[in-house]
Every structure is written in structure tokens, then in C-alpha cells.
Amino acid sequence: MFRKLHLKLTAYMGVILILFMFFVASGIYKFTKIIFEDGNKELMKTEALRIYNYKNTAFPEFFLNNGTLLKRLRPNNLTDSKRLDACYIVYDEYLTPVFSDEGEIKIADDIKALASNAFEQGKDSYTTLKVGRFNYRIYTKYFSDITGQSVVQVYQNTVNEDILWSFLRTVLFGIGISGTLILLVLSYILTGKALTPIKETWMRQKEFVADASHELRTPLTVIQTNLDVVLSDEDGTVDENEIWIDNAYSETRVMAKLIDQLLILAKADNNEEKLDISEFSFSEVVENVCNSMEVIAKNKNIDFITNIEENVNIKADYDKIRRLAVILVDNAVKYTEKGAVTVTLKTDKNRKIFSVEDTGIGICEKDLDRIFDRFYRADKARHREGGTGLGLSIAKWIADKHKYSLTVESTVNVGSKFTLRM
């Protein structure tokens, strides 16, 4: 499922990238071309004006004729001060070329229609035209003043530029294709990275649902079995069946606790559980929790030692912090058969430290990493009664949500110490 999604996302990215690259490359190409053509058009227009002005200028030439010094006006040679590598044709009002500097390939006849159009419409034109094998850029400028009408045509062979343009097209195409390929590979890797946490959450959610169903199934089966026994004893009294009814009842308590914890975690996953922050005395909370747990410890013949510093105030969610304290102290009492449970609350260099230490069964090293995982129980067979495997994951979530740190140190058959640093 995720592989398909991964490929699908990469394909979508690919389409977006190709379109993006196409628009960027063709944009660069078109924009460069427009700027270039605009520049050329202006240059050719200036050149046409220069030619026209030259047409009307002449320099005096003096010569002797039978002893008389005569003056003759000779037109300037237009190409003397050529500024553009272009060819020129000047037409008079009868469409007769009065000057031309056509170079080697002559195309005057092919573009004469443009000059005739300029006369007819009385306006300039700028166009590119394919004549023979080559493309030409032609500027046709119309003039009308007291000297009469005339048209100046300036044209250039664009073969060299065409080679450059086709080179630019190839380069842009190459960059576009290789850029798209590189970005596609990158997007495949990045999409994979982005999908990893979703994949993990999905797997965890799947596991969670499977575990939850399994955990709910177990007490349900116990209840059913016990009630079946009661039902099969048609003549039996409630007293006679007390043991089976008690069993069923205690399992309903396990179920209720489990459902309660599942709800907390479900809300936590949906980010629905918001912290209700207030300032309160954590010392009082710990004392209160210890008071209710001490009885259970005494019943199990284990010492219950408390070192609670007074007036340790914190700003936190009261209910959640209390729940965390209950989970840690309850576990310590639950997993200790002899010795002592020591609950400490103190302030150390501006940090408040709450620890619960016991001399119980301890946790082996391989389980230590997983102890805060949902439904993880170090020894499922031994500690089924009352345990859901969700307590510590809730405690960890509460600590994380408050940005506190919750750590554990433990040695098998020596004891465990859970520390909450605030």
C-alpha cells in the first residue's frame, strides 16, 4: 500500500516538475528571444534612419573645367560608416532602387513586396522571412517629407543566430531533462522520508488496534467462562457461586480500566487532550497518592518510605500529573514482594525531582527500552492480574506533553527506580 502511494506521489511530483521545467525553460527562451528581437528591431530602425539621412547628404567636390573651378556635390558613400552588419536597399517613390548594398546573396526581389506594402500603407514593418535556404530579418522603413516618399529596407541574414538559438534550445532541453531526472530522484527519496513517520504511525495504529482487541478479548472470555459455570449450576445460590461471580466482577474492573486507558491514548493520538495548566503543590499531590498506596504496601508487608520536600510547587495539568504519580507508585507496590518502596520529592538546582524506587522484581535490560511501549509487559504470564501494559505509556506521554523527562534504571531482582525531572 505504501509502496504504491510512494510511487504515486513521486509520479505527481514528476508531472509537476516536468510542467514547471517546461514553463521555466520555454519562458527563459521566449524572454531572451523577445529581448534580442526588440534590441535588433531598434538597431535596424536606427540604421534605416541613418541611411535615410545619409541619402540626403553630399560633400562638395571641386574640379577644373577649362580653367574654371567648378563645384560638384557627390553623395556620401553610405557604407563608409556602417554600424550594423546588414544589407540596405533604398527605394524612391516609384519603387525604383536608388541605392543598394546587398552583399553576396541578393534577395531584393523577394522582399520588394514589403517595400511596396510600406508605400501603400505609409507605415513601417519588421518581419522575419525565409528566402531560399536562409531566414532573414527585414526592417522596412517608410519616409515621407518635402523631398518626397522613400523606403529604406535593412535586412540581415540570421543563419548564425539560428545556430545559436538552436544551441540554446538544446542546452535548455538538456538542462530541463537532466534537472527533472535529478529532481525526480530527489523527490522519490524525500517522499520516502516524508512517508516514513506516516508509515510508522499507521503500523503502530494497526498494532494498537490488534493489541487492544486482544486485551479486551481476554477478560471477556474469563467473564463468559465464569458466568457459564454459574448458569450451568441451575440450583446453586449466589453464595455458592460467589467465587465465579467475583472472578467475573474483577475482570469487568480490568476491562473498565483498560477502556479508560485506551480512551486517554486515543485522545492523545488525536491531539485532543489539551493540558489544563494551573499552579499547585506537587508535595500535596504526592503525599495524597502515597497515603492511598501505603495501605496496599502494608498489606503486602513491604515498607513504604516517603521523603517529600514541602511546598514544591509546579505549573502543570493537575489531573494528569496525579495520574502519572499514581501509575509509578502503583507499579512499584505491584511489582515488589519484599523490601521497600521509597517515594522522594526534592528540589535540586532549580529542578524538581520526583522518584519512585523499589526493591522489587526489576526489569531486564532488553525490556528496559520497550517498557514505555503500549501493551508492553515484561513478563506477561507472571503479571497478568490487574496489568494492562498501558500505564507507563500514558505516564511517558504525560511527561512528554509537559516537556518533563521520565527515565528508568533497573536491575533484575534488585529493584527499579523511575525518575521524573521537571
**Contacting residues toward ligand ADP, per CB under 6 A:** 327, 331-332, 335, 358, 360-363, 371, 376-379, 383, 387-393, 416
CA–CA–CA angle 218, 220, 224 (5° rounding): 120
Nearer to ligand ADP, 176 or 415 (CB): 415
In the complex, minimum distance from the CB of residue 227 to ligand ADP, in angstroms, rounded to a whole number: 25
* Residue with cell string 536606427: 46
In the complex, the smallest distance separating the C-beta of residue 414 from ligand ADP, rounded to whole angstroms, is 10
- Residue 38 or 319: which CB sits closer to ligand ADP? 319
CA 382 to chain centre: 47
Q: Three cell numbers at 245?
A: 461471580
- Exposure on the CB side of residue 408, measured as CA atoms within 13 A: 24
**Close Cβ partners of 339 (under 8 Å, ≥ 6 residues apart):** 302, 303, 358, 359, 360, 415
CB 286 within 8 A of CB 316: no
Q: In whole angstroms, how close is the CB of 368 to ligand ADP at the nearest point?
A: 9
Contacts of 32 (CB under 8 A, 6+ apart): 168
Q: Distance between CA atoms of 207 and 200, rounded to whole angstroms?
A: 10
* Residue 413 beta carbon to ligand ADP: minimum distance, rounded to whole angstroms: 10
Alpha-carbon radius of gyration of the chain = 47
The tally of CA atoms less than 13 A away on the side-chain side of residue 8 is: 6
| Closer residue to ligand ADP (CB): 176 or 391 | 391
For residue 182, report the phi and psi dihedrals to the nearest 5 degrees.
-60, -45
List beta partners, residue 143: 150
Name which of 125 and 250 has its Cβ closer to ligand ADP. 250
CB-nearer residue toward ligand ADP: 194 or 266: 266
Query: What residues contact 355, with CB distance under 8 A and at least 6 apart?
Result: 342, 343, 344, 417, 418, 419, 420
Instruction: Quote the least distance from Cβ 358 to ligand ADP, whole Å.
Output: 5
Instruction: Tell me how far, at minimum, the Cβ of 360 lies from ligand ADP, in Å.
Output: 5
- If the CB atoms of residues 118 and 258 are measured against ligand ADP, the closer one turns out to be 258
Whole-number minimum distance, CB 376 to ligand ADP, in Å? 6
- All residues at 6 or more sequence positions from 371 whose CB lies less than 8 Å from its CB, including other chains: 363, 378, 392, 408
- Nearer residue to ligand ADP within complex by CB, 283 or 416: 416
Alpha helices (H) in 233-317, listed in sequence order? 242-269, 282-299
Q: Report the residue number, 112 or 323, with the smaller CB distance to ligand ADP.
A: 323
| Residue closer to ligand ADP, measured from CB, 38 or 207 | 207
Q: What are phi and psi of 141, to 5 degrees?
A: -110, 130
Least distance (Å) between residue 272 CB and ligand ADP: 21
Nearest approach, Cβ of residue 362 and ligand ADP (Å): 6
